[in-house]
Amino acid sequence: MVEDALVHDVRHGEVVVLRLANPPVNTLKHALRAHLFAAIERAEAEGAKALVLIGAGRMFSAGAEMTEFGKPPVSPTLTEVIDQLDAFPGLTVAAIHGHALGGGLELALGCRARVASPGAMVGLPEVKRGILPGAGGTQRLPRLIGAEPALALISTGDAVPAERALALGIIDRLIEGDLEAGAVAFARETLAAGRDVPRVRDRRVAGELASYDRAAEALARRTRGMEAPPATAEAVRAALTVPFEEGMRTERALFERLVAGDQSRALRHVFFAEREAQKVPGLEGVEPVPVERVGVVGAGTMGSGIAMAFAAAGFSVVLVERAADALARGLGRIEQTWRRNVEGGKLSEGEMSDRLGRIRGTTDLADLRDADLVVEAVFEDMGVKQAVFRDLDRIARPEATLATNTSYLDIDTIAAATSRHGNVLGLHFFSPAQVMRLVEIVRGKATAPVTLATALAVAKRIGKVPVVVGNGFGFVGNRIAFARSRQGELMLQEGALPWEIDRVMTGFGLAMGPFAVADLAGLDIGASARRTFGISFPVADAMVAAGRLGQKTGAGWYRYGADGRTGEPDAETERIIRETAARLGRTPRAHTPEEILDRMLLAMVNEGARVLEEGIAARASDIDVVFVHGFGWPAWRGGPMWYAENRGLAAVRDRLAELAAITGDETLRPAPLLERLAASGEGFARAA
Ligand code: NAI
């Protein structure tokens, strides 16, 4: 039978090795579980004294098969396979290399002992998909390492390297060299010593309830709005307080509640949306150009962040500025940021100096003559950008990819400054560029497929989530965000206050309200973008005119205290808002939280529909990826288009029409695509 290839069993005397082989990452799909179950039974029937579970190929196992999620479980479930391991009368050993994640680690926890190759990563990342480990992970891990350490791992979903796992007690031995041979030797040794290794389920959980409950309370505060993290705390608490079987039932009940819930559905949507975004029609079989040397032009906020992102991923970077002092400031900012990471324990001193060694500063653009890729991040000014591209055209290698980080400007006009339009595209990073994972890859009308393929490959190598978008004002993210800002401005003119709007948005799940974010970025940034396009926001412009630029001037929408970061509502802001509204002849009125939320969100959805219709975004799910990874939209809310889809497009259309009527704002009139989909009952997915 072909499917037997999923689990190979090899006998080494009284030790049987079961090798999982479901390439590329050994997900625990149903057929594999069935074969594993049978192989365990067979080994027992044949009188094996020990079983070693090991993965073929790159890793032990990446866990459950995502496509089986949310569907009724088919026997044998992972829990049943693990029960079978527990029932095996002899020793059971998991031999881990690469990754043992999620169900993969739960399977390993179902063994009596675990060994691992140095550098192997283990973790229970389920919480990141809005669920919790559902095959005993929440009951067995605490029995191995104690309740609080287990909670720390399960509630964050973070994986740890084998060395740390050894210290924690998740694994029993590190094995240098041949893992299978080492694991078999470990099993023989244990058998020979006559040592009884208890089943994990039979061990006692270390931990003290009062202290555990304090940790769980702190977790609940940190993860406000999210369902899965507090549920993990409840499950691990059961490990501490009730017998194993009862704890398993608690885990199962929590798992079933979460997996059917809106948050895990949204998180799964984001997971698949990220993968979908990588599929770009027309790039099949197109080989990217190899990129090793990267040039970055401009060492301001973005240029220095972009240089950091590349250097951190091992690229050698040449960073170009206009003048020595600006260059020194840029390099200083880079060093300072990494220094803070070192102080925070996130980066080693050695890694920091390696990274710094990969960045060379210069004031001579001609130093980019060897670069494979150049990212321009100079002032947002067409004249300045065209001048840089004209020079790059002269200097850069003919096959070099030339990218601009422009936020709003036309890619084709920038490309027109060169004699190689096919090599030019947008690589639009988000601030801070070394942190935010989104990169919009902007395709100009002449951008060649190989240029696009190269940009996608490079973005992935630096750990970003690339989304290919079309050329047009603000591309996808900034254009849709602009529609939201516009509602914010209009509501201020109608008498709402920034902190009222922010409170509604943080209540929805955003980490920061849009006005607090504007204070952080600087109100002058938005103002100068609006000036370029002849757009006026009277209230925001009055704030800038009053010198209230945000945190950097001690006051913006909020007033900042001594630490410069904690904002308080400010009467002066209210005065500026009232005066501007009076000047515009607006009569103040009250806004319900529902109106505030709907105007901010549905304005985005409506603009998203226009962006889709114009082909600026290829799919609705691409828009969701943009907001989750570039704008701090909570992933458990799935993104604006997912939100609309779930609320129902007909309901969204009706509410938009109602809001347009109340406010007289034409931009809230339902977009034609939304009207069509709402009328036909189709979703955004089919519109793509
Ligand atoms: P910035 O003003 O902080 O930095 C621009 C830097 O470019 C300055 O240090 C300046 O000295 C340098 N520069 C100007 N002309 C130059 C030339 N000819 N050669 C070499 N260096 C030159 O501006 P920021 O915020 O870094 O923005 C840069 C670009 O990135 C703009 O196009 C902006 O729209 C875009 N962007 C900005 C984001 C933000 O949040 N700040 C986010 C995404 C894109």
What DSSP line would sit under 383-433, residue for residue? HHHHHHHHHHHHHS-TT-EEEE--SSS-HHHHHTTSS-GGGEEEEEE-SST
Ligand 1 mutation pick, 378, 395, 552, max ligand atoms within 8 A of CB:
378
Cα 490 off chain centre by: 32
Q: Residues spanned by CATH 3.90.226.10 within the chain? A: 2-259
Residue 58 is predicted with a pLDDT of 95
Copy the structure tokens of residue 504.
Answer: 């509604």
Which amino acid residue places its CA nearest to atom 44 of ligand 1? 407
Which atom of ligand 1 lies at the shortest distance from residue 305's CA? 26
Say what the alpha-carbon torsion angle 240, 245, 250, 251 is, to the nearest 10 degrees: 90
Yes or no: say if 635 and 267 are a contact pair by the CB < 8 Å rule.
yes
Ligand 1 mutation pick, 304, 318, 322, 391, max ligand atoms within 8 A of CB:
322
Residue 464 to residue 468: CA distance in whole angstroms: 12
Residue 62 to residue 101: CA distance in whole angstroms: 5
Cα(406) to centroid of ligand 1, in Å? Answer: 9
Whether residue 19 has pLDDT greater than 90: yes
One CATH from 2.170.190.11, 3.40.50.150, 1.10.1040.50, 3.30.420.40 for 495-503+511-583: 1.10.1040.50
Cα(665) to centroid of ligand 1, in Å? Answer: 34
Whether residue 672 has pLDDT greater than 90: yes
- The per-residue pLDDT for range 279-328, each reduced to its tens digit, is 998 899 999 999 999 999 999 999 999 999 999 999 999 999 999 999 99
Cα(338) to centroid of ligand 1, in Å? Answer: 20
Q: Residues spanned by CATH 3.40.50.720 within the chain? A: 293-472
Percentages helix, strand, coil for the chain, rounded to the nearest 5?
A: 55, 10, 35
- For the chain, the average pLDDT equals 95
Cα(249) to centroid of ligand 1, in Å? Answer: 56
Cα(536) to centroid of ligand 1, in Å? Answer: 23
* Identified catalytic residue from 65, 126, 251, 645: 126
Copy the structure tokens of residue 147.
Answer: 């309740």
Which atom of ligand 1 lies at the shortest distance from residue 380's CA? 32
Residue 2 is predicted with a pLDDT of 40
Copy the structure tokens of residue 420.
Answer: 């190689």
Please, which residues have CB within 8 angstroms of residue 253's CB and are 6 or more apart in sequence?
Answer: none
Which amino acid residue places its CA nearest to atom 1 of ligand 1? 300
Say what the alpha-carbon torsion angle 317, 323, 325, 331 is, to the nearest 10 degrees: -10
pTM: 0.90
Yes or no: say if 470 and 456 are a contact pair by the CB < 8 Å rule.
no
Cα(403) to centroid of ligand 1, in Å? Answer: 13
Residue 686 is predicted with a pLDDT of 58
Dihedrals phi, psi of 74, to nearest 5 degrees = -115, 130
Which atom of ligand 1 lies at the shortest distance from residue 404's CA? 32
* Identified catalytic residue from 14, 41, 65, 106: 106
Yes or no: say if 426 and 449 are a contact pair by the CB < 8 Å rule.
no
Q: Please indicate whether residue 234 is annotated as part of the active site.
A: no
In this predicted structure, which of 67-76, 95-104, 147-156, 546-555 has the lowest mean pLDDT?
A: 67-76
Which amino acid residue places its CA nearest to atom 9 of ligand 1? 300
Which amino acid residue places its CA nearest to atom 28 of ligand 1? 377
pLDDT band at residue 4, thresholds of 50, 70 and 90?
Answer: low
Which amino acid residue places its CA nearest to atom 17 of ligand 1? 322
Which atom of ligand 1 lies at the shortest distance from residue 302's CA? 26
Ligand 1 mutation pick, 334, 337, 407, max ligand atoms within 8 A of CB:
407
pLDDT band at residue 3, thresholds of 50, 70 and 90?
Answer: very low
Which amino acid residue places its CA nearest to atom 40 of ligand 1? 431
Average pLDDT over residues 169-181: 97
Average pLDDT over residues 218-229: 94
Ligand 1 mutation pick, 379, 431, 525, max ligand atoms within 8 A of CB:
379
Whether residue 498 has pLDDT greater than 60: yes
Yes or no: say if 596 and 659 are a contact pair by the CB < 8 Å rule.
no
pLDDT band at residue 267, thresholds of 50, 70 and 90?
Answer: very high
Which atom of ligand 1 lies at the shortest distance from residue 521's CA? 40
pLDDT band at residue 559, thresholds of 50, 70 and 90?
Answer: very high
Which amino acid residue places its CA nearest to atom 19 of ligand 1? 322
Ligand 1 mutation pick, 327, 376, 405, 523, max ligand atoms within 8 A of CB:
405
pLDDT band at residue 195, thresholds of 50, 70 and 90?
Answer: confident
Cα(297) to centroid of ligand 1, in Å? Answer: 8
Which amino acid residue places its CA nearest to atom 29 of ligand 1? 377
According to CATH, the topology of domain 593-687 is N-(1-d-carboxylethyl)-l-norvaline Dehydrogenase; domain 2 (1.10.1040)
- The per-residue pLDDT for range 383-438, each reduced to its tens digit, is 999 999 999 999 999 999 999 999 999 999 999 999 999 999 999 999 999 999 99
Cα(464) to centroid of ligand 1, in Å? Answer: 20
Residue 157 is predicted with a pLDDT of 97
Cα(252) to centroid of ligand 1, in Å? Answer: 52
Residue 393 to residue 601: CA distance in whole angstroms: 42
Residue type, 400: A
Residue 209 is predicted with a pLDDT of 97
Which atom of ligand 1 lies at the shortest distance from residue 385's CA? 18
Cα(484) to centroid of ligand 1, in Å? Answer: 24
Residue range 2-259 in CATH 3.90.226.10 = yes
Q: Please indicate whether residue 126 is annotated as part of the active site.
A: yes
Which amino acid residue places its CA nearest to atom 36 of ligand 1? 407
Average pLDDT over residues 345-365: 96
Whether residue 688 has pLDDT greater than 70: no
Which amino acid residue places its CA nearest to atom 8 of ligand 1? 300
Residue 413 is predicted with a pLDDT of 98
Whether residue 69 has pLDDT greater than 80: no
Residue 687 is predicted with a pLDDT of 52
- Give percent above pLDDT 70 in the chain: 99
Residue range 293-472 in CATH 3.40.50.720 = yes
- The per-residue pLDDT for range 568-598, each reduced to its tens digit, is 999 999 999 999 999 999 999 999 999 999 9
Q: Residues spanned by CATH 1.10.1040.50 within the chain? A: 495-503+511-583, 593-687
Best CA proximity match to 491, nearest among 553, 543, 538, 438: 538
- The per-residue pLDDT for range 133-163, each reduced to its tens digit, is 999 999 999 999 999 999 999 999 999 999 9
Which amino acid residue places its CA nearest to atom 43 of ligand 1? 430
List ligand 1's pocket residues with C-beta within 6 A: 297-303, 320-322, 326, 377-380, 384, 388, 405-407, 429-431, 521
Residue 162 to residue 642: CA distance in whole angstroms: 38
Cα(299) to centroid of ligand 1, in Å? Answer: 7
Starting at the edge strand that comes first in sequence, how are the strands of the sheet with 316-320 ordered? 359-362, 316-320, 293-297, 373-376, 401-404, 424-429, 438-443, 465-470
Question: Between these two residues, 196 and 36, which has the higher pLDDT value?
Answer: 36
Please, which residues have CB within 8 angstroms of residue 279's CB and are 6 or more apart in sequence?
Answer: none
Which atom of ligand 1 lies at the shortest distance from residue 320's CA? 20
